[in-house]
Amino acid sequence: MDNKIKDIVIAFDGHSSCGKSTVAKAVAKELDYVFIDSGAMYRAVTYLAIKKQLINGKKIDIPSLKKAVDFIKIGFVKNNETGQQETFLNGKNIEKEIRGIEVSESVSYISELDFVRTKLVALQQEMGINKKIVMDGRDIGTVVFPDAELKFFMTASADVRAQRRYKELTEKGDDVTFEEIKQNLEKRDYIDQNREISPLKKADDAIVLDNSSLTPKEQLDWVMEKIFNL
């Protein structure tokens, strides 16, 4: 690896289910960097709120959730059998649970909360203090790491994203429909882009990657070319 790309932060932002994590994980593996899935962190808080019955639709028990978030511990552990990174909440593996439709339906409401974002942004910035990380999310290049050396903004059409998500969930055995997935994605897009705190938007210096018609390998090759030309 060329010396000029050592010790940097690489940020991936973009819409729901556009493949940010897939590409970010692959890039981290290529560079031997640490991958941090910020979306999984918000899903972990959402899962906690659901399990503790602190959320019902848009109604959230704010005082109780604030107390729970104060003591929350989120970590990522590599599964030696699959090689995949898995999300742990307070010592429990919740990777499968946070990827279901129930969490997906509520995560944008939890992500809007200022105290949740403050807590998780602080955790994310701590994780990246020594650089050599790849992080994906909604506000990585704009809020978490505005000085990241390299930023990408990923997107794809709603139909393409919904089809990818539908395939992923049905292969896991989840009982979902394409229309249900698409409506969920469009709702999350609207909430993410219009919230007052850290809305989803492209950083001025981010490179746009529309991967509607690209394979994972083509995306990785495209991104790696940008990195090595930094």
- pLDDT confidence tier of residue 82, bands split at 50, 70 and 90: confident
Report yes or no on 101 lying in a domain: yes
Distance of CA 192 to the CA centre of its chain: 12
| Residue 137 belongs to a domain | yes
Question: pLDDT tens for residues 112-124?
Answer: 899 999 999 999 9
Task: Please give the helix or strand (H or E) that residue 9 lies within, else none.
Answer: strand 9-14
**161-195 pLDDT per residue, tens:** 999 999 988 998 989 999 999 999 999 899 889 98
Is residue 1 situated within a structural domain?
no
| Mean of per-residue pLDDT scores for the chain | 92
Query: Does pLDDT of 154 surpass 50?
Result: yes
Q: Which CATH number goes with the domain that contains 32?
A: 3.40.50.300
Confidence check: pLDDT of 198 > 50: yes
Which domain, by its residues, includes 55? Answer: 7-228
The model's pTM is 0.81
Q: b or e along 20-50 (b: 16 or more beta carbons within 10 Å of the residue's beta carbon)? A: bbbbbbbbbeebebbbbbbbbbbbbbbbbbb
DSSP code for 140: I
In a domain, 153, yes or no: yes
Tell me how crowded residue 75 is: count the other CB atoms within 10 A of its CB.
14
pLDDT exceeds 90 at position 55? yes
d(CA 152, CA 203) in angstroms, rounded, equals 9
Domain membership of residue 2 (yes or no) is no
pLDDT at position 92 is 96
- How many domains, in total, are found in the chain? 1
Residue 38 has pLDDT above 70, yes or no: yes
Does some domain include residue 147?
Answer: yes
In this structure, is residue 75 part of a structural domain?
yes
Domain-embedded: residue 172? yes
Q: What secondary structure does DSSP assign to 43-100, as a single string?
A: HHHHHHHHHTT-EETTEE-HHHHHHHHHT--EEEEE-TTT--EEEEETTEE-TTGGGS
The candidate with the shortest Cα–Cα distance to 114, out of 71, 143, 152, is 143
Residue 5, pLDDT score:
66
